[in-house]
Structure 1
């Protein structure tokens, strides 16, 4: 398949996902449609390396991940994290719910290794899934290696539409209160609105550390250079820490992005200002869907029962625990459940779904601003807490708990 044909096919899929989302007013998220179409493509005429053929091999996708996660770090701040402490507690409660219910149900129906391999991918994204898949493969458990990837691939099929439904209900409630004049913007929402206004500003001044340099020198290349430096520092520190503790460079990218923006080394949302945000999100989305090439119909049928049971257990667990903690913290059940659901997909799906819902609920700029400030920060932070941080830590611990066939015999 020629490179440009592969690229055209993939972009057709991404665009069809957008069309369906727009036509259904985000009841059917674009990422769900794209995942279905990718599966059908792989099961029919797509070459398994179609994403690499289109120009996004793994090495390019990893570069996009470094750039995007540093960029997302610049959208956060220590103050924002402190303001979003309720989000962090709800996200952690959802994770606890996943672990407890999955362990109880798993031990009743499946063996120890299946439970251990299933939990980290349920809590997080591709990094934890790959860690567990490699651990199972090294332990001589090929089926469980596939199972880890399949869980990651398939759990979004429940997470995407559920999140869309919950966020639409939350958005309608907020708009109803706004129209009735009873919606009051809290301090954390005001902070988010101010940040969104700063980010959307057309001005492109130099960051604080480079204030003495004329702003005309702040070219796209200079912005990309500074993002890449932060990404390299994250990688370097991760490698230096390896003999002591294993820390994902992507976790450090997020942390260093927050620090770089706080100290004035990077501006807020630098990828957008450099004109590279759209193509990097596209590349990362293609990389995520590329994992579907491993999900053959035979594998899905063989792993269908444990797959469905574990995903449903995770949803039930996060629903119960997030609703309880949300009620204690006076956060609506719709928003609390949505925050917990980010564990099933993380970034960039949480960003995309939230924006889809907002754009389909209203076209008014002021209403969009209110909905964005209310829903986007907790959705992003919830996804970062579960997928980017907790799931990687969990995977690092639980991969050592896998018992290989030889060990089991002994």
Structure 2
């Protein structure tokens, strides 16, 4: 079609994402935005979307290069080592869970399908989009096209099942905690409220706090967008 080009492909992807965010907002996050976006894209591929839509939009080259840089550096900068140490039990449980998934998947999965596919599918199950991308590229480099597609398919199918389940569990837990607070069963002191505002693995730094960074801070005059992008690439 003469009117189909890069810009229209980009807009179509953007509209799909916006629909996902709107549905998530209207449903108070009961329906995850990523899940809705995936459904919209799937319906689009079945009807009017070209199969090369995402590639034509220019998002694939960006996602496989600069996008990965952004993800790696972002994940690294939001993790607080102090919170990791404080929540060492959570870290150990996660590590053992990952180990169990790998061992069970490798041995039990090999009884039902080719071991190459099992190896390609484990990173998407235990990790996320970054590990999926790494496995996909490794499989393609090894000439295993089927395994490369299987890795992406595993990540997508896991999302269809996992996102709604995660949203449901988080809502139930949130309601349980709110009920305890409103009934007076649990009473928090001001100190506990302040401490809970920083719960999690995120690195929360106040304006007065000077965090140690891998690269030394630069004067404001030199810290231009191009400099920031260059530092991000170096760290990544």
TM-score where L is the length of structure 1: 0.46
How many angstroms apart in 1 are the aligned matches of 2:173 and 2:75?
A: 24
**1:56 CA displacement:** 3.1
Count of residues paired in the alignment = 225
Q: 2:79, 2:203 within 8 Å by CA — same for their partners in 1? A: no
How many angstroms apart in 2 are the aligned matches of 1:210 and 1:132?
A: 34
Give the match for residue 233 of structure 2.
232
Q: 2:29, 2:167 within 8 Å by CA — same for their partners in 1? A: yes
5+ unaligned residues in a row in structure 2: which ranges?
none
Of the candidates 48, 65, 73, which is equivalent to residue 62 of structure 1? 65
**Does residue 1:20 correspond to 2:27, yes or no?**
no
Q: 1:84, 1:188 within 8 Å by CA — same for their partners in 2? A: no
**Deviations 1:138-189 (Å, cap 9, x if unpaired)?**
5554333321221122211111011111111121122223323415438963
Q: 1:27, 1:165 within 8 Å by CA — same for their partners in 2? A: yes
How many angstroms apart in 2 are the aligned matches of 1:138 and 1:64?
A: 20
**SS state at 1:222 partner:** coil
**Does residue 1:83 correspond to 2:86, yes or no?**
yes
Q: 1:13, 1:38 within 8 Å by CA — same for their partners in 2? A: yes
5+ unaligned residues in a row in structure 1: which ranges?
235-252, 254-410
Give the match for residue 74 of structure 2.
71
Q: 1:56 to 1:88 in 2, by over 3 A?
A: same
How many angstroms apart in 2 are the aligned matches of 1:10 and 1:53?
A: 10
**Does residue 1:5 correspond to 2:12, yes or no?**
no
Give the match for residue 149 of structure 1.
152
**Does residue 1:38 correspond to 2:45, yes or no?**
no
RMSD over aligned Cα atoms: 3.6
**Within-5 A mapping of 1:376-395:** none
**Deviations 1:51-95 (Å, cap 9, x if unpaired)?**
344353414662233234323433333212212323322221321
Of the candidates 143, 156, 178, which is equivalent to residue 175 of structure 1? 178
Higher-RCO chain (CA-CA 8 Å, sequence separation at least 6): 1
TM-score where L is the length of structure 2: 0.75
Which one has the bigger helix percentage? 1
Q: 1:28, 1:164 within 8 Å by CA — same for their partners in 2? A: yes
How many angstroms apart in 2 are the aligned matches of 1:151 and 1:105?
A: 16
Q: 2:5, 2:56 within 8 Å by CA — same for their partners in 1? A: yes
**1:131 CA displacement:** 4.2
How many angstroms apart in 2 are the aligned matches of 1:156 and 1:68?
A: 18
**SS state at 2:176 partner:** helix
How many angstroms apart in 1 are the aligned matches of 2:104 and 2:76?
A: 32
Give the match for residue 196 of structure 2.
189
